[in-house]
Structure 1
Amino acid sequence: MADARATAQPGLRNMVRAAAIGVTLFLAACASGPRIVPEAERPTPAERPIPVAPRPIQPGLPQDVQRHRIALLVPLSGPNAGVGRSLQNATQLAVLDTKSDALRITTYDTAAPGGAAAAAAQAISDGNRLILGPLLAEEAREVAPIARRARVPVLSFSNDAGVAGNGTYILGYVPAQSIERVVNYAKRSGITEFAGLIPSGLYGERASTAFLRSVEEAGGKVNALETYDGRPGSLATAIAKIGRSPFQAILVAGSADGAVGAAPLIRRQASGKAARLLGTELWNTDSAIGGKTALSGAWFASVPDNYYRQYATKYRARFGAAPYRLSTLGYDAVLLTVRIAREWRPGSEFPAARLTEREGFAGLDGAFRLGRDGVAERALEVQEIRGGTTATVSPAPPNFNGN
């Protein structure tokens, strides 16, 4: 069962109140007889009612004793409200699909005054024993110490491995894993010479490190690596520098739209004419990626889409809009919780040790498991963009058996 902290449904706020009201009726009877003035009777002393202590009214949400209290921390206002609403809808859909009546999920707006820290503090005060979210890495950093003091685990939707650990787990698609997967596939396909086109910023820094390490471990060689930013001419300058070196494949570590802008410039370079374009997990967040003809023949690694299309159809039917691709993180977080909840007593601490089981979990995004470092390891596939769609050229393993 899900509710929203800021705008809770009326049915979820009702508190059962019982009060007993006793009423005593006094009857007076008059008897006829001689005119005798009776002695005045002393009134019967009134009995003092026994004081009853008023039942305390608890602030916040009603106290469930039969269900697990779980907080969902997502933005319901501000620039990321669309993603937050989609994650919230996904958790509701997961509860319905699993037919689980053991969970009570309450949503807290991380974009409200006080931000994610205030949302986490309120969630813990309300008695929640597990936090799903928040969405962004900086929010996860704010929430982590608050949740850790209360011994409440955090399953963040961020992809920043730097915030994982000490009770905070990262469910997002970590770029290092997708880069390693596509590089290994390229190497097995006969590619040995690589180049990298990396956006500036924290994501780019981590992508660059992962790329260099992956190529080295695969036995290949990075002949050129350049970064670019949003300044006019920065992308063209970076690609021109890369073109001075030979390469068989080039990793374009930015978004799909960024890769579309880079592709024609790459093809003008001598080595770029026949080079294979490689992408990261960011490409799969673009639902129209298959129709981007400039990226025809490109490879990218991401979570498998086998179940996503069915999920998206069901989501549209219920909520009247298409889901954000990242919303499956919310759905899978609920699946994980439902599985662990079978051995979790309501009101007790969440059994965090169960999160790092070696066999992992299955979800819409395929198999995944949480390492002791708090980062989700995912079974990824490699897709190729061709003919207006994407085709799987290297399927994801169905589980982690044997690993």
Structure 2
Amino acid sequence: MFAFLSSARKVLTRSVFASVIVALAACQPITLGGGTGLGGGAGPTINTSEPVPVALLIPKSSNGAGTVATSLENAARMAIADLTNVKIDLRVYDTAGSTTQAAAMAQKAVADGAQIILGPLFADAANAAGVAVANQNVNILSFSNNSSIAGGNVFVLGPTFENTAERLMNFAARQGKTKVLIAHPNNVEGQFGRNAVQQAASRNGIAVASVNGFEFSQAGVVAAIPQIKAAMDSTGADSLVMTSNSAGALPMLAQMLPEAGVNPANTQYIGLARWDVPAQTLELPGLQNGWFALPDQAMIQNFQTRYTQAYGSSPHQLAGLAYDGIAAIGALVEAGNKKALTAGALTQGAGFQGVAGAFRLRPNGTNERALSVAMVRNKQVVIIDPAPTKFTGAGF
């Protein structure tokens, strides 16, 4: 216990600000809105009997993202090979990880005849690309999961905080939870997470009893513990949502809050981030009997196995987004509708089947992905509410 506590308390002194690709794709503080209000988003008229020109914008020559770029391209080509009655003319453009080049490559792709753009990877690049071609009647399926860039002609394929928060708050409401406290670091990621939980709680009839932000540092977390405990006591909240992940404040919170008297037996701990990576996280006291959401792991494993067999190495964790993009395009084109790549078609309520299960794009440019709710039971992950296999209704 004490050895692990020591490790947990050191976590914020290590390289938690390292360039994890998922974080880079998700947490750029972009506010331009990805072309909203610039006239984009309708989409072209296509000939479904001919190969459909699809542009793939990836940072092939970027020093920090070349590996993920290769994985994305491989996954896209794998998806194309899986299509039976549709031909995709995939054209690859190198953004070099540059916002300026992403905009230029988006313009070039459209000039070359692209009917839809898949990518770019980073939020700022996707935002710039969307603005650059907003008046060209071409939609963009970006690999970002930053909802702040979604809208107009830009859709985000990456898993969003909003989607995860909605799944968890909906489940919590169905389990009789009525009042939640939110604990989040005062950084961009933490603020996005806080907002997502607040909105999802409101939609599902759960009151937000208290919002507790803290400095993203070891000292900040230590100082926040008694404040969170006091807020739990004074508000009578039945649930505590922590937005932090295992690379950030989660280990300290999940160790120190139970020690301070926020008992997991009486308070429902809920996590906006994945708690199963790394596996050591599952040992934390505050996570026992806690809830978090995750995609269908059997489906992801199937994709990873197929990818490894095809390319001789494991895919990057974001590779499936490229497969999903091609799968959605292929499904729409196969239906034979000349308006297959318009915003109206892309946002069909039934959605699509992807690497991790069902997903659909929403009219506001964000997405909804089918997620399972898991519980940590005896330091193991147990699925307590499986992911739906298809969508019904309009979504949240």
Q: TM-score range by the shorter chain?
A: 0.7 to 0.9
Q: Deviations 1:3-37 (Å, cap 9, x if unpaired)?
A: xxxxxxxxxxxxxxxxxxxxxxxxxxxxxxxxxxx
Q: After the TM superposition, which residues 166-315 of structure 1 pair with which residues of structure 2 at under 5 Å, given as runs?
A: 166-246=152-232, 247-258=237-248, 259-274=250-265, 275-280=267-272, 282-283=273-274, 287-289=277-279, 292-294=282-284, 295-315=287-307
Aligned AA (2:369): R
Mapped contact 1:382–1:395 kept (Cα < 8 A): yes
Distance 1:97 1:325, change over 3 A: same
Pairing 1:359-374 to 2, within 5 Å after superposition: 359-374=350-365
The one-character-per-residue Cα deviations of 1:71-105 (angstroms, maximum 9, x if unpaired) are 11122223233332222221122122235661121
Q: Which letter does structure 2 place at the counterpart of 1:334?
A: I
Match runs of 1:130-149 below 5 Å: 130-149=116-135
Largest Rg, 1 or 2 = 1
Residue pair 1:67, 1:104 contacting (<8 A) in 2 also: yes
Aligned residue identity for 2:357 = G
Find the partner of 1:383 among 371, 374, 380: 374
The DSSP-based 3-state class of the residue aligned with 1:198 is strand
* SS across alignment from 2:152: coil
Per-residue CA distance 1:33-72 (angstroms, 9 max, x = gap): xxxxxxxxxxxxxxxxxxxxxxxxxxxxxxxx94221111
Name the CA distance, whole Å, in 1 between partners of 2:56 and 2:309: 23
Distance of 2:136 and 2:202 partners within structure 1: 43
Alpha-carbon shift at residue 263 of structure 1 (Å): 1.0
Partner of 1:52: none
Q: Is the contact made by 1:250 and 1:278 (CA closer than 8 Å) also made in structure 2?
A: yes
- Please, what TM-score do these two structures have when normalized by structure 2? 0.76
Aligned partners of 1:222, 1:351: CA distance in 2, in Å? Answer: 38
Closer, same or farther in 2 for the Cα pair 1:337/1:289, shift >3 Å? Answer: farther
Q: Post-superposition shift, 1:310?
A: 0.8
Q: Structure 2 residue aligned with 1:71, among 21, 30, 55? A: 55
Please give the per-residue CA displacement for 1:374-395, whole angstroms capped at 9, x wherever unaligned.
Answer: 2222232212234554222112
Instruction: Give the drift of 1:120.
Output: 1.4
> C-alpha displacement at 1:317, in angstroms?
2.1
Identity over aligned residues, as a percent? 28
Report the AA paired with residue 158 of structure 1: S
Larger relative contact order (C-alpha < 8 A, sep ≥ 6)?
2
Q: Closer, same or farther in 2 for the Cα pair 1:212/1:101, shift >3 Å?
A: closer
Unaligned stretches of 5+ residues in structure 2: 1-48
Q: Greater share of helix residues, 1 or 2?
A: 2
Q: Does 1:154 pair with 2:140?
A: yes
| TM-score (normalised: structure 1) | 0.75
* Correspondences of 1:33-44 after superposition (within 5 Å): none
- 1:283-331 deviations in Å (ceiling 9; x for gaps): 17x6545863213433112333331111111122222332233322111
> How far did residue 360 of structure 1 move?
1.8
The one-letter code matched in structure 1 to 2:89 is R
Unaligned segments of structure 1, at least 5 residues: 1-64
* C-alpha contact 1:196 1:226 (8 A) present in aligned 2: yes
Rounded to whole Å, the distance in 2 between the matches of 1:290 and 1:402 is: 38
For residues 293 and 127 of structure 1, do their structure 2 counterparts lie closer, same or farther at Cα, with a shift above 3 Å needed? same
